[in-house]
Amino acid sequence: MNYWLVKSEPGTYSWDDLIRDGSTFWDGVRNFAARNHMQAMKKGDQVLYYHSGKDKGVVGVCELIREAYPDPSTDDERFVAVDLKPLRAIDPPVSLTAIKGEPSLAQIMLVRQGRLSVMPLEKAEFDTILALSQKS
């Protein structure tokens, strides 16, 4: 079991859209580092869903239901998509500020390399983020 964090702009595809749809295919990634992470995802992996832009923060937990396959939104065979389904919302959401304020999360890629849209998490980091929701 592996743990990941993916970003989305709520204006493009929000957590609420994901709940409404029941599942989604995660495509449109045009960054090789992110693509490499997507290819490493396995069915059943847990994926945190992060909103960028307004109200930045982790808003839900997803499960990977289909491993990497060619991205249907492009002819470019270098890129892949995966399918996700929502498991549960994180309520209250864990804001970026809260994550940055947690010393044990200072090294995660979300903080260190803000532009990366798909990144791996250690189980401890995953658990810490979930715990921050309970704390606030």
Partner DNA sequence: GCCAACGTTGGC
Tokens standing for residue 9: 């702009």
Can you tell me the distance from the alpha carbon of 79 to that of 96, in angstroms, rounded to the nearest whole number?
28
The interface region with DNA, picked from 37-45, 67-75, 95-103, 119-127 by CB under 7 A, is 95-103
The interface region with DNA, picked from 59-67, 83-91, 94-102, 127-135 by CB under 7 A, is 94-102
Can you tell me the distance from the alpha carbon of 70 to that of 107, in angstroms, rounded to the nearest whole number?
31
Can you tell me the distance from the alpha carbon of 39 to that of 92, in angstroms, rounded to the nearest whole number?
30
Site track 18-57 with DNA (rule: CB under 7 A), x = hit:
------------xxxx------------------xx--x-
Q: For residues 92 and 58, is the Cβ–Cβ distance under 8 A?
A: no
Q: How far is the CB of 53 from DNA (least distance, A)?
A: 6
Q: How far is the CB of 84 from DNA (least distance, A)?
A: 16
Can you tell me the distance from the alpha carbon of 56 to that of 94, in angstroms, rounded to the nearest whole number?
9
Contacting positions for DNA (CB under 7 A): 7, 9, 30-33, 52-53, 56, 96-97, 100, 112-117
